[in-house]
A = this chain, B = another copy of it.
């Protein structure tokens, strides 16, 4: 009989996360109760937001705990079933966590559509894509011709936000942490320009890249980049607050930028946080739209693959320092 390989949270990070905060263990396969299924993980996504769950109580992910499996969304195949709506052999999107098998209740399962590459469910058709879609369209409310600025623009959410903004007729400026990423955004994904925030002339470069100011800032980072965006925003501007990756990997988050709330008042700026779950009722329509854009070639998907469950901790640490381009996916070996 197969064993379940799991990556557990061994200790909570005191300051920066390290792979030593995790341990790989082997356990028996979980039993499934009535109506449940056993899912064998095919792959899972590593996303910066899960770092917030290790960081104190003020997170939608709840209070941090040790001794539990690290959480993540993943895709897998049903290998045992006590639910006729979810038969053996079907592929599903679910909260697999960092482990090879998991018992799942039916309400946590999304059946993958046929004729669609399953890995897309960890990127544009999963949490990342829906976050990009609703954050830009429902919170940012872009109008044709407006300027959209995006932080962590080469990340799993950011690289999709920029392309959706282009589809909506906006001018798009990406902010990211390397010249290689800047190049990818402009050359491969069609961003109008990209600015490296690690460059000593970042603020001047941002100013030159946004001669008409910024109408929508899609914020994945908070911190200094949020501060720079506040000064470029036009009256009536919007900030879609999606994530705070600049403040996750630390024990002492910085205060908010100067100019909050002063600049919000002076420029009538709307700054709005959201969680993708706020829009659950509209997931189906959004997914259909995103599939249409991918099939027509309007939306390109960047994926960054890592192999083997044991490589997940290092891959996460590296992602938090900006090592990924696009969605980082861990593929399990069979």
Binding site for B on A (CB under 8 A): 52, 58-60, 219, 222, 226, 239, 241-244, 247, 253-275, 278
Q: In the bound complex, how far is the Cα of B235 from the Cα of A274, in angstroms?
A: 10
Is A265 touching B273 in the complex (CB atoms < 8 A)? yes
Instruction: Tell me the nearest residue of chain B to A236, going by C-beta.
Output: B278
B residues near A261, Cβ cutoff 8 Å: 219, 222, 226, 239, 241, 244, 256, 271, 273
B residues near A274, Cβ cutoff 8 Å: 265, 268
Is B268 touching A262 in the complex (CB atoms < 8 A)? no
Is B258 touching A256 in the complex (CB atoms < 8 A)? yes
* Residue in contact with A58 in the complex, picked from B260, B262, B272, CB distance below 8 Å: B262
**Nearest-CB distance from A86 to chain B (Å)?**
31
Is A263 touching B219 in the complex (CB atoms < 8 A)? no
Is B275 touching A262 in the complex (CB atoms < 8 A)? no
Known contacts A58-B259, A226-B261, A258-B256; A269 and B272 CB within 8 A of each other? yes
**Nearest-CB distance from A210 to chain B (Å)?**
17
Known contacts A270-B272, A271-B271, A272-B270; A260 and B265 CB within 8 A of each other? no
Counting chain B CB atoms within 10 Å of each CB, the highest count among A58, A247, A267 belongs to A58
Q: In the bound complex, how far is the Cα of B257 from the Cα of A272, in angstroms?
A: 16
Q: In the bound complex, how far is the Cα of B277 from the Cα of A267, in angstroms?
A: 11
B residues near A273, Cβ cutoff 8 Å: 261, 263-270
Known contacts A269-B272, A269-B273, A273-B267; A259 and B256 CB within 8 A of each other? yes
Known contacts A255-B257, A256-B255, A256-B256; A271 and B262 CB within 8 A of each other? no
**Nearest-CB distance from A233 to chain B (Å)?**
10
Known contacts A270-B272, A272-B270; A244 and B256 CB within 8 A of each other? no
